[in-house]
Amino acid sequence: MALNAEAKKTLLRKIPHGVFICGVAEGADVNGFTASWVTQGSFEPPLVVMAVRADSASNGIIQRTGKFSLNVLAADQKDLAAVFFKPQKAIGGRFDAAPFSLGDLGLPVLDAALGAVECEVVGHVAHGDHTVFVGEVKSAVLNRDDAALELSSTGWQYGG
């Protein structure tokens, strides 16, 4: 069975995704970017799996520091997600639109998000245009339990 590019694209775009802000920190630098390729990978220990563009600024920071946060956006926070995938003048500039504090692991936790988890990287696969990171959840903060933003509601595509 050959790889039919159109079939592959159509089928992979049917995988349901959320929309998150991944936070990273290195020294005095903090950065954040919109991530939708995220899923849970284990109950015990709690693991999450996230794919990060190989050529992004944040990828190198995660490789070097071995940690990242995942902020869960509310269903009405599409505008905030848009801030975090647009090019920025300087690293961390996207946070001008989104107040945050640093969590237990020193990672950005957005005030406006439903909540956030902080993770330590326990493994990664660097193959292709994204690196797949597996993170163990070490801290979790819930600001409010409400409906989360889903990629399907935004009209955006990231996949295929």
Figure out which of the listed residues 23, 25, 30, 36 binds ligand FMN, where binding follows CB under 6 A. 36
55 vs 145, beta carbon nearer ligand FMN = 55
SS3 151: helix
By CB under 6 A, is residue 56 in contact with ligand FMN? yes
Judge contact between 49 and 131, C-beta under 8 A.
Answer: no
Q: Which residue has the tokens 């909540």?
A: 115
Binding mask 116-145 for ligand FMN (x = CB under 6 A): --------------x---------------
Figure out which of the listed residues 47, 49, 57, 137 binds ligand FMN, where binding follows CB under 6 A. 57
Q: Which amino acid is at 151?
A: L
Burial of 88 per CB tally in 10 Å (0-12, 13-18, 19+): middle
Residue 155 is encoded by which pair of tokens?
């009209």
Q: Which stretch binds ligand FMN (CB under 6 A): 4-12, 47-55, 110-118, 135-143?
A: 47-55
